[in-house]
Amino acid sequence: MRFKWTASDWEVSMMEEFPTGGKIDQGRKKGQVNVALRFALSSIGVLGLGAVALTGCGSSGSSNASAVASSSPTTLKDQLFVDADTVSTAKATTCWLMNRFHPGDKVLFRAKVFDGATGNVLTNKDLKSVVVGLPNGQNLPATYGNHKTDNFWAIAWTVPADYQTGTINYTVTATSNQGATGQWVPFKIASSSLTILAPGAS
């Protein structure tokens, strides 16, 4: 037995799913087999093609499947999503995005944390900690609060006078009260990374 999925089948499927005036155009269904069966068979065919494509990406289909299974989280309930940036606070009345600073400048790290399963913004009632980690091992605990037009996590850091110049590959790690974690890391692109410049350099 052979089945063929056509555009007209899709039209009938849509008519059955969303009938106009509560009636289905029976004339459009003439000579067609059960749409639900065809849709199921079509879906199986697509999944089969996907499996073939995955197998063809490596030397062993089974090893690829194992790699995907082992690297994918079982659920999102224990995952947090962290979004972060750095701004300058040179002007007391406003902040603006900045990634290049000199010794003595104040860097403001900002972050928002979201529940990986629901997408809800998490506050200090939901999270145990949000910490900025510097390459030298220093950890800066952020606090949650209102910043005029928005609420987020923030911590200010004054660049020490003797701090090494160059890029800073910092991280922002969030931990929930239930132990779920999430970490933000910057893009590994020097021009957009947090950078400490020598005095007088631009």
The DSSP result for the chain, as a single string, is ------HHHHHHHHHHHS-BTTB--GGGGTT---HHHHHHHHHHHHHHHHHHHHHHTSS-HHHHHHHHHHHS-S-STTBEEEEEEEEE-SSTT--EE--EE-TT-EEEEEEEEEETTT-PBP-TTTEEEEEEE-TTS-EEE-EEEEETTEEEEEEEEEPPTTPPPEEE--EEEEEETTS-EEEE---S-GGGSEEEPPTT--
- pLDDT of the residue at 35: 38
Q: What is the Cα–Cα distance from 144 to 154, expressed in whole angstroms?
A: 7
Q: Is residue 184 over pLDDT 80? A: yes
The pairing of beta strand 143-147 with beta strand 150-158: antiparallel
- pLDDT of the residue at 77: 64
pLDDT band at 94 (very low <50, low <70, confident <90, very high): confident
Q: Please identify which residue in the block is written with the tokens 């957009």.
A: 192
Average pLDDT of span 65-73: 40
- pLDDT of the residue at 181: 96
Average pLDDT of span 72-97: 79
Question: Which tops the pLDDT comparison, 37 or 198?
Answer: 198
Q: What is the Cα–Cα distance from 26 to 16, expressed in whole angstroms?
A: 10
Q: Is residue 139 over pLDDT 90? A: yes
Domains, in order of start, for the chain: 7-71 (no CATH), 80-196 (2.60.40)
| Mean pLDDT (the chain, rounded) | 74
- What confidence tens digit (pLDDT) does each residue in 16-68 have? 444 444 443 444 444 443 434 343 434 434 343 343 333 333 333 433 433 33
Among residues 106, 98, 103, 202, which one has the least CA distance to residue 155?
A: 106
- What confidence tens digit (pLDDT) does each residue in 129-138 have? 999 999 999 9
Q: Is residue 14 over pLDDT 60? A: no
- What confidence tens digit (pLDDT) does each residue in 160-174 have? 999 999 999 999 999
Question: Which tops the pLDDT comparison, 21 or 114?
Answer: 114
Question: Which tops the pLDDT comparison, 33 or 6?
Answer: 6
